[in-house]
Structure 1
Amino acid sequence: MTFCCTGRAGVRPSPWPTTASRAGGWGLFNIVEGLLGHQILGIHHVHGGPHQLWWDMGFLILGVILLVGGYLLQRSGQPFDPGATDTPSTAAGLLHYRWSTA
């Protein structure tokens, strides 16, 4: 299975691009759904009651955090090179290196 993804048998692809895409997509969904479903159309709210606006704003803020975090995680990733033998100097690169050489 890993051969079809990386071109080499036994080499695992990096999980960071997938993790970044999931976080960014989840954040984008939260923003769109929060604005349309909660604010514009008023179909439902995160938590109904006297403080529902604060709950809805928290939902939107979480969406922004996930979107920005996913974007930053995607940008911080290094290209995957299964033939590289040098060790990385950053913490994110070290995680990438350990995952790809395990």
Structure 2
Amino acid sequence: MALSNLDCGQIHRNIFTTDTIGIAAMPPLVDFKPALLGDQGSEEDGCLGIFAGRIVAILVRSPECYDCTNSTEWYLDKGFGSCDQQGLMFSSLDAAESWIINQIIRR
């Protein structure tokens, strides 16, 4: 799949949360930037997961899932900081974003 066709844009939500004093605030967002991983002979489509200006995850599209629906599409190749894990599978970038935010909030 060509990098330009990679569905890896910033996830926008219209969901608001309320903080402890009742003020509505937007939830934190993860920005997913498309990236080609590897060299010309073995490149893979990936995304850099960026939170608050820092790379917290490198996600790679599962090679079996370029045309799949309702299956695992992304795996965590490498996480950094609070997201320091490898090999987790996600059905979508929304699922990856939820996991990233939960990891950051917990630490």
| Category of TM-score, reference length = shorter chain | under 0.3
As a proportion of its length, which structure holds more helix? 1
As a proportion of its length, which structure holds more strand? 2
Larger Rg: 1
